[in-house]
Structure 1
């Protein structure tokens, strides 16, 4: 309350807030009491835009009184919500919250688990004020999420909370889209690497993850990212599935992915030209059909009742082969070295092989088609043997009355 009201437009309230802050520091022996004086008997003039003083005071408190972090942040959020009609005070609140966010990591490994749960509650509250997209939405993104991006220890907790909130809000909701925007701010290798489908079986969660991947796929400076194979694997498993909204999202994820390859400065000129041809093919109408897209007006931002409900459960395996070969061409042209191309290919092959030999009626047929596209050179005898075993078991299980 003291820090918040020092930014008030009322000079008397600013002075009272300063004196309150002084009294608290003296009473509780905070480490910054020497930086303040009792101003009750003097005509101290505190300008209304004393942001530097407020933030500096907050930084010193965050460093010296770390144990107050959770309570302080919760009070900041309460004050932020109560100042909904005063955007200037909300902006100040966001700025003096930043030093305390870095302390959250100290509470994530408590033995009793209570502090970790409180950290999750704080993250959830931050997500809530973000999703409301108030007038200070851009400042929330800049101050809060740009700070949390650099705290690796919190990434798992943040990602899980973002996904949970998006699923609860609904994939077509403005709140879920605001959270997808937040991932753009937090875009880094550590975050991108957590965007996998392995741990998430719910379709709604998969949809939210696809949206996350789409928003962070537009721009990257590092073409040698270790996640190229994972991106290809995810695309090939979910392409042309679900409603138009998701099918368009996967298609535009492919477009963004190839766009990032084309615009990378390390691509050789002759390969850049080839990549542009691949990009044109992906955007061409006859190739959009392979992605399950027949509505020319629909894209990843077309949210209507129809685009959210016109589900496609199965895709042509022939279309899958076309898409996989396009992706293969793109990565072969984009690889900075032959070793990089071989590494991406080997990793993708490993992911697909692991999927192909696990019983999964929804994804196993796709996995074998992808495997067939990737295994164009020498085929290991054991791989061929395992393939025959799977086919034999499926034929034994097949019933004409239950195709």
Structure 2
């Protein structure tokens, strides 16, 4: 039993009902009593019961935001009901399953019963005459000929001129050509008989001998054209007219399914009559899909229906199927699900995908006209669903590229390259496709069993190959550009619909495609989507969308023009994301920050000392969110301490080995921009105040010798003479560094000290000892934070170098009474850091952010994006 369901009635409006699906019947009952006779106050519960075999899905033009409307027809189309319900998919699937279970094995054609009316007589008698004209019995053929002549005279049909009744005329045993010609004349001149003629034809189908059925299709096919001119357009209620046509076409499809040997006759007589009319073709395709859905996406019966699509095989039907599949894919956003195979439209996607594969073999026309659609569908569905669906997606792509190889006129070099790409896709160990899914439950996609990042990476890898194929397969540059533009348009139509099952993939593809050209209009839409993904991540912790959009933005930065209004402000968005996300997502946001810096570095004048003033100037519009974010994290950006604030934001990325390389690259990018002001070569061995924080942090957290040597190389400093890290630290010439700068450098180094590798802890302890000896006034301010750090090393470290460094520092502290006095409290350090705008460093941990502050940061980051795009 299904509810809530609302039945839509023209006379009674919206009526709440329940639908019950049994093994033999479908029941539609009102939940409340309905008035039976107006004025008599008689009311009762209305209960309609229909035989299961008589109930079919009906097309509906009703549109709803959540795709909840559907229709059912019964009693051969005489009764049509429309409903809306959030349980639409469950109702329809239950009816399909019940019908399939009830009649699949012993399914026989059930005659289409109807009441005979006087106006039905001509159509009925015409069918009777045509049918028996094809009989093997000579007498019956003659009687049928005379009946046809009498019928034409009685109703004054013009075909009467072709007929003359006679007793002993010899009608040949195979008068198919004659019957078809007469039928064509009557169909053209008497279109009002179309509905009755076709109805009677399907009623009598089961009585036709098997050998006569293909010939019968020949005289029936001319009447199909009248479905539009005399059934569809003459009905006052267009929906009712469409239902009549759909009912008749559904009967035709039933013939196809039940009598598979008719395929030749169908392709030569019936299908051309349908394909000549675009509207009929639409209705026919709708009914084909419904029939396929009634069998299930992976039933053998689909192998019967697919050849019908191939038999039509026109560019029009190909376009319709690709368009339908794409729109169905987008329609999954109306009722979003985490995984696409859980969507109500999944079964339809599978059926349409099967049709696409059936059409894809040896079809150069399809590949030329619809290559962008194919690539879009493949990238959205690759590695999704069970093995059967994955195999279909794979076959569609391989067949399509094979068609390009065999049908396109390409030069030898391009053809060789294209075949190499095809071999790459067919490689069983390729990263782009996973044809075997390790599922946790039936139908689970790769996303359920593996990290979503792997899915996005596979999607991007596939996009790279397909993008290259666009260039290789196109006979001209203009066609290649047209393909890429169309593909980008299709991706954009999907990417900006809220749909967690597909949207991350769309952004992964868009990020690669948009490298060719990015404008502010596109960037605006991406930023809006990013704002929504941040809100989602803050609520449920699902980061797939956030990662996909940020990664896409990183790639777009490559081609972002210097004239973009967003260029400089994206720096503040990147910094906010670096601070916002957990350490597991640090690499993604750091990559975005690095891409933004690269783009800014390419701008004229945005280097050296000017970079800070330009960035702070761009922040003025964002201060409503940027300043509260600084307060929340306790790290404030101003002209004086800008570079220290950057280092304070990035230092947590240097703690973990998985994020350290990304953090090092960003620090190096900052250093390169800051140090790019032309200066005499000799002076570059002495770091400037701006570059000092970056060099200090690189040297402090660079675990490998190459980590900090790379920093020196970027700075233009001769690294050949640099031995170990301690020797490098001595190059900073501590006596020339201001007290506040030295304090900030040291405080930043102490963040997450307890999580560092022991060799990095050794380096920091040695650095602190040097400060104690050379700059005791600065060291006094740090003393309060040191006892727990030294104690942790002495109690837990197994490294002799770390123990030695801790003991050395402890002896230095013990030798100075002033140091000992300051060890008891961190108040002096906290006050000093607070006054400099770095109160957040006093926590000495990147992981101690309260939940309420964390949520506020999510809200403020969303507000920051709003301020950027207004």
TM-score by length of 1: 0.89
Q: How does 1:213-228 map to 2 (within 5 A)?
A: 213-222=356-365, 225-228=368-371
Q: Which moved more, 1:2-11 or 1:98-107?
A: 98-107
Q: Return the match for 1:177 from 300, 303, 311.
A: 303
SS at match of 1:376: coil
Q: Which moved more, 1:336-345 or 1:115-124?
A: 115-124
Q: CA deviation at 1:166?
A: 1.0
Q: Which moved more, 1:364-373 or 1:143-152?
A: 143-152
2:198 is the counterpart of 1:73: yes
Please give the alpha-carbon distance, in whole angstroms, between the structure 1 residues aligned to 2:296 and 2:304: 12
Please give the alpha-carbon distance, in whole angstroms, between the structure 2 residues aligned to 1:230 and 1:320: 16
* 8 Å CA contact 1:149, 1:155 repeated in 2: yes
* 8 Å CA contact 2:492, 2:506 repeated in 1: yes
Aligned match of 1:109: 233
* 8 Å CA contact 1:165, 1:176 repeated in 2: no
Q: CA deviation at 1:246?
A: 1.0
Aligned match of 1:198: 327
Q: CA deviation at 1:400?
A: 8.2
Change over 3 Å in CA distance of 1:222–1:172 after alignment to 2:
closer
2:397 is the counterpart of 1:270: no
Aligned match of 2:353: 210
SS at match of 1:103: helix
Please give the alpha-carbon distance, in whole angstroms, between the structure 1 residues aligned to 2:160 and 2:348: 49
Q: CA deviation at 1:57?
A: 1.2
- CA deviation vs aligned residue, 1:348-376 (integer Å, no higher than 9, x gap): 11221232223211111101110112122
Q: Return the match for 2:472 from 325, 330, 333.
A: 333
* 8 Å CA contact 2:129, 2:147 repeated in 1: yes
- CA deviation vs aligned residue, 1:47-91 (integer Å, no higher than 9, x gap): 2111111111111111211111121122222333222xx222111
2:157 is the counterpart of 1:30: yes
Please give the alpha-carbon distance, in whole angstroms, between the structure 1 residues aligned to 2:367 and 2:402: 15
Aligned match of 1:302: none
Change over 3 Å in CA distance of 1:362–1:268 after alignment to 2:
same
Q: CA deviation at 1:313?
A: 5.4
Please give the alpha-carbon distance, in whole angstroms, between the structure 2 residues aligned to 1:221 and 1:78: 41
SS at match of 1:173: coil
- CA deviation vs aligned residue, 1:194-250 (integer Å, no higher than 9, x gap): 223314541111111111111111133436844322221121111111111111001
Aligned match of 1:131: 257
SS at match of 1:339: helix
Aligned-CA RMSD value = 2.3
* 8 Å CA contact 2:401, 2:422 repeated in 1: yes
SS at match of 2:478: helix
* 8 Å CA contact 2:225, 2:277 repeated in 1: yes
* 8 Å CA contact 2:364, 2:406 repeated in 1: no
Aligned match of 1:82: 207
Change over 3 Å in CA distance of 1:67–1:378 after alignment to 2:
closer
2:244 is the counterpart of 1:118: yes
Q: Where does the alignment leave 5 or more consecutive residues of structure 2 unmatched? A: 1-127, 333-344, 543-870
Aligned match of 1:343: 482
Please give the alpha-carbon distance, in whole angstroms, between the structure 1 residues aligned to 2:280 and 2:411: 38
Change over 3 Å in CA distance of 1:185–1:94 after alignment to 2:
same
* 8 Å CA contact 1:131, 1:176 repeated in 2: no
Q: Where does the alignment leave 5 or more consecutive residues of structure 1 unmatched? A: 296-305
Aligned match of 2:684: none
Please give the alpha-carbon distance, in whole angstroms, between the structure 1 residues aligned to 2:423 and 2:273: 38
Aligned match of 1:360: 499
SS at match of 2:365: coil
Please give the alpha-carbon distance, in whole angstroms, between the structure 1 residues aligned to 2:278 and 2:501: 34
* 8 Å CA contact 2:360, 2:400 repeated in 1: yes
SS at match of 1:37: coil
Q: Return the match for 1:51 from 165, 172, 176.
A: 176
Please give the alpha-carbon distance, in whole angstroms, between the structure 1 residues aligned to 2:198 and 2:469: 47
Q: Return the match for 1:9 from 136, 142, 160.
A: 136
SS at match of 1:135: helix
SS at match of 1:172: coil
Aligned match of 2:434: 292
Please give the alpha-carbon distance, in whole angstroms, between the structure 2 residues aligned to 1:152 and 1:392: 43
* 8 Å CA contact 1:133, 1:178 repeated in 2: no
Change over 3 Å in CA distance of 1:15–1:263 after alignment to 2:
same
Please give the alpha-carbon distance, in whole angstroms, between the structure 1 residues aligned to 2:354 and 2:366: 21
Q: CA deviation at 1:45?
A: 1.1
Higher relative contact order (CA 8 A, sep 6+): 1
Change over 3 Å in CA distance of 1:33–1:388 after alignment to 2:
closer
